[in-house]
Amino acid sequence: MSRQVFAIWCKTCPPLPVILINGMSSYANGKQRSETYYWWSLLLGFLLALAYQTVAQNISPVHSATSSHSGAKALAAQVHRGENQYASNCAMCHAQDLSGLDPAPALTGDKFMRKWQGKAIWDLYDKIRKTMPQNDRGGLKSRVYVDIVAYLAKFNDINIGKRELRDDQNLLKSIPIAKSNSQ
């Protein structure tokens, strides 16, 4: 059964058995139970079915496609925030275009990539959050450091996936520093 067919089945079929079983069991005991009870249990079955549908919708392939789309949008927003943060906290030493201003080295180009290639995004993040801005080491919020690292990665065409970076050591250690086109 393909995923799509399964998703459609999930959305339509389970409510029916739930309603039927509920209705039948109260009908079988109908003599002892009042009619009100019967209708209430039908309603309960219907509500359960509705709740089930909501869950089924959340696991459907259509939904996961939209959530990876919103992940990409969140990442784009993060890169944009990082660009602004870089401009106000780093550009005075490393230059607006990341080309460096002596003694601050370039944060882009061959020399930069040769130095960082093969390390993890975590290493770059850790270096920056502990030693930068050089005149206010560790002075920014970790959110801001993460946003700036996302910007540096995108600027250098480093493949960081399609989701926002987070201040999460395991996540950042799992992302190698490598050019998108070399993968």
Distance of CA 118 to CAs 68, 90, 152, 176, 179, Å? 26, 24, 16, 6, 10
Site for ligand HEC (CB under 6 A): which residue of 115, 130, 137, 162?
115
Angle formed by the axes of helices 61-89 and 35-59, to 10°?
50
- Site membership for ligand HEC, residue 105 (CB under 6 A): yes
**Choices 8-16, 62-70, 124-132, 171-179; region in contact with ligand HEC by CB under 6 A:** 124-132
Q: Establish if 99 lies at the interface with ligand HEC (CB under 6 A).
A: no
Which token pair is 114?
A: 């040769």
- Based on the shown chain and the rule CB under 6 A, indicate whether residue 104 belongs to the binding site for ligand HEC: yes
Looking at 51-59, 70-78, 123-131, 164-172, which segment touches ligand HEC (CB under 6 A)? 123-131
Q: How many CB atoms lie within 10 A of CB 181?
A: 7
CB of 89 to ligand HEC, least distance (A): 4
